Structure 1
Amino acid sequence: MKMPRIECQSCGRGIAAGPVAGRPGKGRLWRHDPPGRSRLYGTALVSCPGSLAIVDLPLPARQLEFAADETAEPDGIDTLPLF
């Protein structure tokens, strides 16, 4: 599954965001290191403060849209829809 990239509010990097269960249109940023981590902290593991933040996802699920020609009834069929 390809995940959208959202700009982290703390470091400005584009980070993948996965969907959050029960919250349509919301996502959680993946854990990531701040830019220049090795220069600032050496070998210590330090996450960016914006890691795991909940953000708005672009284009949440939308209803499928049909083109006008697909909704037209074919000629010669005179049946009623069941549903």
Structure 2
Amino acid sequence: MKMPRVECEFCQRRIAAGMVAGRPSKGRLWRHDPTERPEIFGDALVSCPGSLAIVDLPTPGAQLEFVEGDEGPADEERADPLGTLALF
């Protein structure tokens, strides 16, 4: 499954975000290292402060919106060629 990428607010990199259960428009950034890790921290494993942050996902998690269309008047009765009435 391809996950959407969202910009981390701390390191400004685009990181994959997995969906959060029960919140379709929110995602959790995957754990990632800061860009300056080798120079500052050496071989120690250090996560970026933005790792695992909950962020807004791009549009795929948005709810479907209904738009009113031009359907014509609803009171108009259709002439049935067989002369029968609709039961439902």
* Normalised TM-score (structure 2): 0.69
RMSD, aligned α-carbons: 2.0
Unaligned runs of at least 5 residues, structure 1 = 66-79
Q: Which amino acid aligns with 1:20?
A: V
Report the counterpart of residue 25 of structure 1 in structure 2.
Answer: 25
Runs of 4+ in 1 over 6 A off after TM superposition: none
**Structure 1 position 24, deviation (Å):** 1.4
Q: For each residue in 1:39-70, what CA deviation from the matched residue of structure 2 results, as whole angstroms up to 9, or x when unmatched?
A: 1100000000000000000001444x9xxxxx
Report the counterpart of residue 36 of structure 1 in structure 2.
Answer: 36
Report the counterpart of residue 2 of structure 2 in structure 1.
Answer: 2
Residue correspondence of structure 1 range 3-82 to structure 2 within 5 A = 3-59=3-59, 60-63=61-64
Distance in 2 of aligned mates of 1:42 and 1:53: 24
Task: Work out the percentage of aligned pairs sharing the same amino acid.
Answer: 68
* Normalised TM-score (structure 1): 0.73
Distance in 1 of aligned mates of 2:62 and 2:3: 13
**Structure 1 position 33, deviation (Å):** 0.2
Count of equivalent residues: 68
Bigger Cα Rg: 2
